[in-house]
Amino acid sequence: MALDPDIMACAGLVQRGDPERFAATMAAPVAAREKLFPLYAFNVEVSRAPWVTQESMIAEMRLQWWRDVLDEIRTGTDVRRHEVATPLASVLDPDMAERLDALVEARRWDIYRDPFEDMEAFRSHLTNTSGLLLLAAARTLGDAPEEPILKAGYAQGLANWLRAVPELERQGRIPLVEGTHAAIQALADDALAELAQARRTRLAPDTRPAMLGLWQTDAILKKASRDPAAISENRLALPPFRSRLGLMRRALTGRW
């Protein structure tokens, strides 16, 4: 089955910019890929916008461009022609377009070097980025409950964030509210508990492909809890073979 050229362009963008979500999406049915790739391509474009320029005003303009796209989808006006914006308009409903404005707004943190004010601000950042993205992914595929998916998305976001800590620090950012080993362990344990709670919710089969991106989350968080020093030493990544095997197992069983 040939994909639309815009979907192919979105897939290529995700493959280059977010290879793990690309792998997870390729493990999903083709019909799900056609809905997930535009959403994940949008996320790639938004997440990289603050990093492609040293000029904060230009970065702000790039983010505003995507906020304008979401507003066009929300209001039902003609959406500007763009290889990502065009297919995105076909998979997002007005409510989710409005909700994703918070995802774009959260990315303004990446433009500047201010630390998070407190743990509530840190948690909101991960929920509004990874959590809302996961919720949007699930809802492009079917009916999905909000609270457990946001909890799972937060856990996924934390796992990804902890792996990014060394690079963020190299860029002069302050990625953690408190970077002690005890604080990191508490963060990881809390996220694991929320993920376990989220998994008690039974999801409709058609929404489960959206959850494939969680395939590494447990293992990364458990490693961070067991060995917090692995974060600063950049040792959180899973061995490639173990990672691929985990994705294959979840794709075959439907478990997330």
29, two tokens: 């049915």
pLDDT digits (tens, 9 = 90+) for 8-34: 999 999 999 999 999 999 999 999 999
243 and 122 in one domain?
Answer: yes
Give the C-alpha separation, 196 to 48, whole Å. Answer: 31
pLDDT of residue 138: 98
pLDDT grade, residue 254 (50/70/90)?
A: confident
33: Cβ–Cβ under 8 A, 6 or more apart, which residues?
A: 3, 7, 11, 25, 26
Q: Are residues 76 and 105 in the same domain?
A: yes
Same domain as 246, residue 129: yes
At 1, the pLDDT band (50, 70, 90 cuts) reads very low
- Residue-wise pLDDT for 73-88, tens only, equals 999 999 999 999 999 9
Q: How many structural domains are present in the chain?
A: 2
Domain end among 48, 77, 111:
111
Angstrom distance (rounded) from CA 80 to CA 90 = 13
Map tokens 């919720």 to a residue.
Answer: 135
Whole-structure pTM value: 0.95
Q: Which two tokens mark 185?
A: 């362990």
- Same domain, residue pair 86 and 180: no
Instruction: Specify the range with the lowest mean pLDDT, choosing from 19-28, 62-71, 180-189, 241-250.
Output: 241-250
Q: Which of 98, 41, 94 is nearest to 67 (CA)?
A: 98
Confidence of residue 242 (pLDDT cuts 50, 70, 90): confident
How many Å apart are CA 5 and CA 67, to the nearest integer? 24
- Give me the pLDDT at residue 256, please: 85
Instruction: Give dist(CA 93, CA 89) in Å, integer.
Output: 8
- Does the pLDDT of residue 244 top 90, yes or no? no
Task: List pLDDT tens digits, range 139-177.
Answer: 999 999 999 999 999 999 999 999 999 999 999 999 999
CB 37 within 8 A of CB 10: yes
Task: Give residue 241's pLDDT.
Answer: 82
With a CB cutoff of 8 Å and minimum separation 6, the contacts of 8 are: none
Q: What is the rounded CA–CA span in Å between residue 82 and residue 69?
A: 10
- Boundary (domain end) residue, out of 84, 111, 138: 111
> Do residues 103 and 141 both lie within one domain?
no
Residue type, 139: R
